[in-house]
């Protein structure tokens, strides 16, 4: 099975940086996804890591360490519109199923 | 219409009612999923269809019955639900036999009285 842990809530100031950590325990790990979900809306894909290292996409970056079962999502130059829930999800090898964490609610304050 | 659409967006039903949720994807994908999202809990995978065949039934009670008539449409038929079934029901689709990134619909907010 898979056990996905991430913090419940984080608060940061506009323009700052926030790092959301995610740890996972899975058999046959084959990739880590991050999704963003605004209240009342669909989750939208942010990033996918399957190899160790950092993937950068504009203001958002995602990091993976397979040996440590650890990932983080880094949000830079925070904007009010970044207030949302961020979902970490792990995928098993040879499987199409994603196991999700409970999500981290990020609140950006002026 | 683009992406993944779901109807209705909101549904209130009694425990003796029968209703259906509809999902449609316009992305040419070949796998579709139903998830349940309850407050402060992880998304729970309910059903997976790949190439119109059900390949996953994640110990879901029989009062939930999925139907996938073709690769673009997915239904969730609801019958004699319980108040604890109140949640956001999300549909998703993906390509590559289910191995690709999943695209989600906006969900149906279900309240069972």
Instruction: Write the pLDDT tens digit of every residue in B28-62.
Output: 998 999 999 998 889 999 999 987 777 777 789 99
A56, pLDDT greater than 60: yes
Chain A partners of B102 at a C-beta cutoff of 8 Å?
Answer: 45, 98
Tell me the sheet residues that pair with B109.
Answer: B10, B88
B76 and B20 Cβ atoms separated by less than 8 Å: yes
The 10 Å Cβ neighbour count of residue A39 is 8
Span B58-105, pLDDT tens digits:
789 999 999 999 999 999 999 999 999 999 999 999 987 656 789 999
Inter-chain touch B101–A33, beta carbons under 8 Å: yes
Distance CA A102, CA A88 (A): 8
Among B85, B73, B81, B82, smallest CA distance to B22 is for B73
Distance CA B69, CA B72 (A): 8
* Beta-carbon pairs below 8 A across chains A and B: 46
A69, pLDDT greater than 90: yes
Select the residue of A33, A98, A102 nearest B41 (Cβ to Cβ). A102
Looking at residues A90-107, what average pLDDT do you find?
Answer: 87
Inter-chain touch B42–A99, beta carbons under 8 Å: yes
**pLDDT band at residue A40 under the 50/70/90 scheme:** confident
**Cis, peptide link before residue B37, omega less than 30° from 0:** no
Looking at residues A45-58, what average pLDDT do you find?
Answer: 94
Residue A50 to chain B, least CA–CA distance (Å): 12
* DSSP label at residue A73: E
């Amino acid at each position: 099975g898979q056990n996905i842990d991430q913090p419940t809530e984080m608060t940061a100031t506009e323009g700052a940086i926030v790092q959301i950590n995610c740890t996972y325990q899975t058999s046959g790990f084959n990739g880590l996804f991050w999704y963003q979900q605004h209240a009342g809306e669909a989750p939208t894909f942010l990033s996918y890591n399957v190899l160790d290292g950092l993937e950068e996409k504009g203001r958002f970056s995602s990091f993976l360490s397979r040996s440590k079962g650890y990932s983080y999502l880094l949000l830079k130059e925070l904007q009010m519109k970044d207030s949302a829930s961020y979902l970490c999800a792990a995928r098993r090898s040879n499987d199409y199923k994603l196991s999700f964490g409970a999500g981290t609610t990020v609140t950006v304050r002026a | 219409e683009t992406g993944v659409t779901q109807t209705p967006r909101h549904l209130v039903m009694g425990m003796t009612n029968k209703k259906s949720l509809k999902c449609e994807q316009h992305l040419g994908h070949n796998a579709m999923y139903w998830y349940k999202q309850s407050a402060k809990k992880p998304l729970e995978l309910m059903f997976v269809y790949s190439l119109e065949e059900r390949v996953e039934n994640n110990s879901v009670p029989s009062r939930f019955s999925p139907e996938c008539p073709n690769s673009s449409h997915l239904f969730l038929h609801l019958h004699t639900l319980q108040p604890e079934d109140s949640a956001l029901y999300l549909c998703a689709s993906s390509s590559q036999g289910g191995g690709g990134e999943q695209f989600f619909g906006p969900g149906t907010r279900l309240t069972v009285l």
